[in-house]
Chain A
Amino acid sequence: MRKLILVALIILLILPAAFAAGQKGTAEASAKTVTVFGAFVDEEARRFEEAIKPFEERTGIDVIYEGSKDFETLISVRVEGGNPPDIAGLPQPGLMVNFASQGKLVPMWSSLIATIDKNYAPVWKSLGSYDGTPYGVFHRVNAKSFVWYPKKAWATAGYQVPTTWNELTALMDKMVANGHTPWAVGIESGGATGWVGTDWIEDIMLRTAGPDVYDKWVSNEIPFNAPEVKQAFDVLGKIWLNPKYVYGGTNTILTTSFGDAQRPMFDNPPKAWMHRQGNFITGFFPENIQANLTDEVGVFPLPAINDEFGIPVLGGGDQFVVFNDRPEVRQFMEFLATWESGESWAKAGGALFPYLNQDLDAYPNEIERSLAEALVNAKVFRFDASDLMPAQVGAGSFWTGIVDWVTGKPLDTMLNEVQRSWPK
């Protein structure tokens, strides 16, 4: 009996080996696959898969996309562990620089670089480069410098879209005089709480100090507690820290999730009348608003503060980088650098693309079309500073600094702390 059990056990153990042998064969015979790992999930992941279908149908290459909300942690673990995906969509250029400096990435090859030069504005190529070598291809991008408002309520109240900062402040005061609350703001975002505030500061920095100072700020050539930064916080503080200007005051700013923050705009009557956020926010609007987006919602770029710098556009995007160099991986990267890879997602909505030769008619409504136009035509485009700064600051002390400042910490103390946290 004991022998019998042993024999059975051994057979059971050998079985998988037979499987393994069979498996090898089938894997060889089946289609080539490319694994892609990214930060977007659910509906966005579905739209991405939809967008790459033309490629899969044309080439027969199977592209397996896997998304995770903990992408930034997991990608490092996977790369460290020697198990990187073929391609990863990095939401932060800093991650690309990190991997590129460690020699983990495959640099872009000449035919792809030619495609990038043809299809993108130069800023995207330089954002995807480390030490002069391009490593990344941008696909879906976002632009953040927009103010959304409930169109119908505005028409009834007789509010006009402001084109200068003075007009904006005048409008805010007019709203307060009418008993309205101008802004809806919420910065809660779980482990990333505070990033909404960093976006505001960056937009204001670009408008008060200009792109050159902005770049120096990003690289810490001017310290975080420089007068220019302080000035940006002062401009923001005039809005955020004034309970008349923001719905619910600072407590609501701190505890409302960034996605829900826009909701008070769509109450009847609106509890707040403006909301500054990136193009993705339309996906968070109530369903009845989304169904009628162009009738219900208006949008304008955050006005210029200093005429010298005009209306810059602040944004970000996922750049795709290569870890494993194989022909099918290269083929897919070349595809991502073309408008074809974005078209169906643009049609589905909720995404902007940077391609110069894109067909603006593909966007499903007037609003997204105008955002895409603003993005492609912007004279000054800057990447989200907090994504460019060292993680210690950009994903750490800058976020918490915003939270501390809104909670009441003195501005100078907070700015000094952020500067101190900058890695030497």
Chain B
Amino acid sequence: MMERRIEGKNLGAQALVAIGRVAVSLFVPIVAFVILWAGFVFLRDSNASQGIIALVAIIWGVGGVAMLFWVADWVVNRLPVMAAKKLQPFVFVGPALVILAWYLFLPTMRSLYLSFFDAQSKTFVGLANYVFAFTDSKMLESFVNNLLWIILGTGGAVGFGLVIALLADRSRFEKVFKSLIFMPMAISFVGAGVIWRFVYAYKPAGEDQIGLLNALVSLFGKDPQAWFTLRPWNNIFLIVILIWLQTGYAMVIISAALKGVPDSIIEAGRIDGAGEMRIIRSIIVPYIFSTLVTVSTTIIIISLKIFDIVFTMTNGNYGTEVIASMQYKQMFRFYHYGRGSAIAIVLVIAVIPVMWYNLRQFGKREGF
């Protein structure tokens, strides 16, 4: 592609060629942009049948990405070699960076900005929203509850995941057990909430109990309980749902790590006279420690931003409020953008150390 002429003869012709090349280099991206824009306009304004729109969206989305890459790559390749080499990586990483910046970084910065303003984002109020976030009684309740979610939810899911993975590893029916335990992973948090409402449903004594738990309680001749109103146990009833959902995830990852523990080390341990518990404690757990950390941090983050379960089950009543549901209420029910943003920022700050630790672990292991 590159043509070099050392002689300075046909300067005029060279200039023309250069201008032509630049023009072509500009023309192609412009055409690409026009095509993409037309597709966007069609998707936005069309009232064609759903099928056609879906088809166009797929072609436009997938084809558009392919075209963007191709055009960008083509333009870069037309540049001098040195420049092309420098720019090439950005053709591939660039879009991801742009999307990250646009959808994550900028909104976070905007939330940070809004968190210093009042409900309508008009008047600067300093740290008032943060004072609210750390002094309001419901917020304090949320912090305690989120801590409970982190400790019990993560502990429960990882603990059960580890135990089940260890047991399944030694069972002939490993695949069946693991599939069963893993199944709730396919259920959304809201869906799980709806399912578990039927487990915890309450009817006054003397009526047919449609709730599983109360049906069992009645079977043993005890009075049915309104589980959601029983403080502080109601938090634990909610956390059980998270454990039910996440144990499968923990189990699958831990189970994969278990397969990587070399038999020779375990054999050596056995020969040295170690019991099964000792082998688990001193060989297996240290060996899969980094996996345990990764799984734990993932579930800690899920517990920190837990929202759906609480929102669908108790709506934060009866002392079960959590931070994310407070944020949602401030933002979308009370239209207090300042407080909503401040709580969001608090949540982001709470997640950062966990993320940082997690990334450091990633770095150490050089890959997942």
Asked if B64 CB lies within 8 Å of chain A CBs, one says yes
Tell me the dominant secondary structure on chain A's binding face: helix
Bound-complex Cα distance A249 to B205 (A): 11
A403–B335 touching, CB < 8 Å: no
* Residue of chain A at shortest CB distance from B333: A395
A247–B204 touching, CB < 8 Å: yes
Known A396-B334, A407-B318: A16·B56 in contact at CB below 8 Å: yes
A9–B67 touching, CB < 8 Å: yes
B45–A6 touching, CB < 8 Å: no
Against B, the Cβ 8 Å flags (1 = close, 0 = not) of A5-33 are 01001101111110110011001000000
**Please, which residues of chain B bring their CB within 8 A of the CB of A13?**
35-36, 39, 59-60, 63-64, 67
Q: Specify which of A76, A255, A391, A404 is in contact with B228 (CB 8 Å cutoff).
A: A255
B335–A98 touching, CB < 8 Å: yes
B229–A254 touching, CB < 8 Å: yes
Asked if A251 CB lies within 8 Å of chain B CBs, one says yes
Bound-complex Cα distance A403 to B314 (A): 11
Q: How many A-B residue pairs have CB under 8 A?
A: 108
* Residue of chain B at shortest CB distance from A402: B317
B335–A16 touching, CB < 8 Å: no
Asked if B195 CB lies within 8 Å of chain A CBs, one says no
Of A13, A24, A396, A403, the most chain B CB neighbours within 10 A belong to: A13
B119–A423 touching, CB < 8 Å: yes
* Residue of chain B at shortest CB distance from A192: B315
Bound-complex Cα distance A193 to B317 (A): 9
**Please, which residues of chain B bring their CB within 8 A of the CB of A20?**
38-39, 41-42, 45-46
B38–A16 touching, CB < 8 Å: yes
Q: Specify which of B42, B63, B204, B329 is in contact with A23 (CB 8 Å cutoff).
A: B42
Asked if B265 CB lies within 8 Å of chain A CBs, one says no
* Residue of chain B at shortest CB distance from A267: B207
Bound-complex Cα distance A27 to B228 (A): 53
Bound-complex Cα distance A308 to B158 (A): 65
A16–B42 touching, CB < 8 Å: yes
Q: How far is the CB of A224 from chain B (nearest CB, A)?
A: 16
Q: How far is the CB of B133 from chain A (nearest CB, A)?
A: 14
A16–B60 touching, CB < 8 Å: yes
A255–B226 touching, CB < 8 Å: yes
Asked if A417 CB lies within 8 Å of chain B CBs, one says yes
Number of interface residues of A (CB under 8 A): 41
* Residue of chain B at shortest CB distance from A397: B138
**Please, which residues of chain A bring their CB within 8 A of the CB of B36?**
13
Bound-complex Cα distance A401 to B41 (A): 49
**Please, which residues of chain B bring their CB within 8 A of the CB of A396?**
329, 333-334
Tell me the dominant secondary structure on chain B's binding face: helix
* Residue of chain B at shortest CB distance from A190: B315
Of B119, B226, B312, the most chain A CB neighbours within 10 A belong to: B226
A23–B45 touching, CB < 8 Å: yes
**Please, which residues of chain B bring their CB within 8 A of the CB of A16?**
38-39, 42-43, 56, 59-60
Asked if A227 CB lies within 8 Å of chain B CBs, one says no
**Please, which residues of chain A bring their CB within 8 A of the CB of B39?**
13, 16-17, 20
Which B residues, 61 to 85, have Cβ-Cβ distances below 8 Å to chain A? 63-64, 66-67, 70
Q: How far is the CB of A396 from chain B (nearest CB, A)?
A: 6
Bound-complex Cα distance A14 to B34 (A): 9
**Please, which residues of chain A bring their CB within 8 A of the CB of B48?**
19, 23
Q: Specify which of A9, A17, A391 is in contact with B335 (CB 8 Å cutoff).
A: A391
**Please, which residues of chain A bring their CB within 8 A of the CB of B45?**
20, 23-24, 27
A19–B56 touching, CB < 8 Å: yes
A193–B228 touching, CB < 8 Å: no
Q: How far is the CB of B308 from chain A (nearest CB, A)?
A: 12
Bound-complex Cα distance A87 to B23 (A): 48
Q: Specify which of A9, A248, A390 is in contact with B204 (CB 8 Å cutoff).
A: A248
Which B residues, 159 to 212, have Cβ-Cβ distances below 8 Å to chain A? 202-204
A407–B229 touching, CB < 8 Å: yes
Which A residues, 351 to 406, have Cβ-Cβ distances below 8 Å to chain B? 390-392, 395-396, 400, 403-404
Asked if A73 CB lies within 8 Å of chain B CBs, one says yes
Bound-complex Cα distance A179 to B186 (A): 50
14 further A-B contacts with Cβ under 8 Å, apart from A17-B39, A252-B203, A390-B334, are A9-B67, A10-B35, A14-B35, A16-B39, A17-B34, A19-B42, A19-B48, A19-B56, A190-B315, A248-B203, A251-B229, A254-B228, A396-B334, A403-B317
**Interface set of A (CB-CB < 8 Å, partner B):** 6, 9-10, 12-17, 19-20, 23-24, 27, 72-73, 76, 98, 190-194, 247-249, 251-252, 254-255, 390-392, 395-396, 400, 403-404, 407, 417, 423
> Which 5 pairs between the two chains have the least Cβ-Cβ distance?
A17-B38, A248-B204, A20-B42, A251-B226, A392-B334
**Interface set of B (CB-CB < 8 Å, partner A):** 34-36, 38-39, 41-43, 45-48, 52, 56, 59-60, 63-64, 66-67, 70, 119, 137, 202-204, 226, 228-229, 311-312, 315-318, 329, 332-336
28 A-B Cβ contacts within 8 A? A13-B35, A13-B39, A13-B60, A13-B64, A14-B35, A15-B59, A17-B34, A19-B42, A20-B38, A20-B45, A23-B48, A72-B333, A76-B332, A190-B312, A191-B333, A193-B315, A249-B204, A251-B204, A252-B203, A255-B202, A255-B229, A391-B333, A392-B334, A395-B333, A396-B333, A396-B334, A400-B317, A404-B317
